[in-house]
Amino acid sequence: MSVRPAWEMRESGAGVTSWFDVRLSFTDGARVDLLAVLSDTALSIEDVRAEPPLSLDDLAVVAEWIEEPLSEVCGNRLGAGGGTGRDGPARRARPAWPRGAEGRLLAAQEYRAAQQEGVDPVLAVMDATGHSRREALRLIAGARDAGLLAPRHIRR
C-alpha cells in the first residue's frame, strides 16, 4: 500500500484541504487506486478505481483498508476532532439519527425546510443524517410512504 500527498489547497479562513493518492496492491494482482480528501477533520473518498472491479461489500470497507496508512501520512489532522489516538483516523462524524418513525419525521422536516429555502432537499437530508444519497432517498421515500411528505407524482 502506498499513500502520496497529491496536492493541497489553503483558503483564507477556511483551513486546508489536502488530496492523497492511495494505491492498494494485492498479492493476486488486484489493485485499487483512490483519491482521498482531507478537509479540516473530515475524510472522504472522491474517486475509486479498481482492477478487477470491487464488489459492493468490498467497496463498503475500502475506508477501513486505508485508515491506518492515511493516519500515518495525515498526522494529527484526522484525530483533532475525534480523538482517535492509535486506532487511526476518525470516521466521518455522523450526527445521531433516530430510526423508525421519528427518523422519518425528522427527515420530512429537513426536506420541507430545504424546499422552503430553495435548496436541494435531498442534499439537506444527506447533510442532516450523514447518510449517502441512496440512504437519504430511501429515508425520504419512507417519509412519503408514511404520509409525512406529499407523493412524488400526483395521480390523476
Render pLDDT for 17-44 as a digit per residue (tens, 0 to 9).
Answer: 888 888 888 888 888 899 888 877 677 8
Helices (H), 7-132: 56-60, 62-74, 100-117, 121-129
Using the predicted structure, report yes or no on whether residue 142 has a pLDDT greater than 50: yes
DSSP 8-state symbol, 147: T
- 16 vs 77: CA distance, rounded Å: 10
Which residues are paired to 24 by β-bridges?
Answer: 32
Q: Quote the cell numbers at residue 48.
A: 475509486
Q: Quote the cell numbers at residue 120.
A: 436541494
Q: Quote the cell numbers at residue 146.
A: 408514511
Which of 67, 44, 71 has its CA nearest to residue 132? 44
Which of 78, 77, 22 has its CA nearest to residue 50? 22
Q: Which of 51-60, 61-70, 144-153 has the highest mean pLDDT?
A: 144-153
Domain boundaries, the chain: 2-87, 100-145
Using the predicted structure, report yes or no on whether residue 66 has a pLDDT greater than 60: yes
Rg, Å, the chain Cα set:
19
Q: Is 45 exposed, middle or buried (0-12, 13-18, 19+ CB in 10 A)?
A: middle
Residue with cell 420530512: 108
